[in-house]
Amino acid sequence: MLKATIKIRHREARMSDSVARSLKPDNILAPPGVRVETRARGEITMTSITCAKSLETFIATIDDLLLCMDAAERVLGEIKAERRV
């Protein structure tokens, strides 16, 4: 069994919470044998990944999660910037 915990610090707790909520589908739609749990704690978005499959599946899951997290953070940053204008 492969396990990882990924912690990302954001500038604000609101950003962490929004990113965690945007990743909720990954928590629900993970493939069989893969468990993904994402939650926010203050300024930290924390994701736990457990994979009973191959190392390749494990790495692909982590890669996908990080890409989704980056996309969510960028979109939220753009929204915040537009509100300032």
> Domain tally for the chain?
1
Residue 47 near residue 23, CB atoms below 8 Å: yes
Q: What global pTM score does this model have?
A: 0.84
For every residue of 10-75, DSSP letters joined together read -SSHHHHHHHHHHTHHHHHSPPTTEEEEEEEETTEEEEEEEESS-HHHHHHHHHHHHHHHHHHHHH
Residue 51 near residue 33, CB atoms below 8 Å: yes
Q: Give me the domain span that covers residue 66.
A: 2-84
- Only one residue has tokens 């704690």, namely 41
What is the residue type of 9?
R
- Residue 85, pLDDT > 60, answer no
| Residues 45-78: tens digit of each pLDDT | 999 999 998 999 999 999 999 999 999 988 888 8
Q: Which CATH number is 32's domain given?
A: 3.30.310.50
- Residue 84, pLDDT > 80, answer no
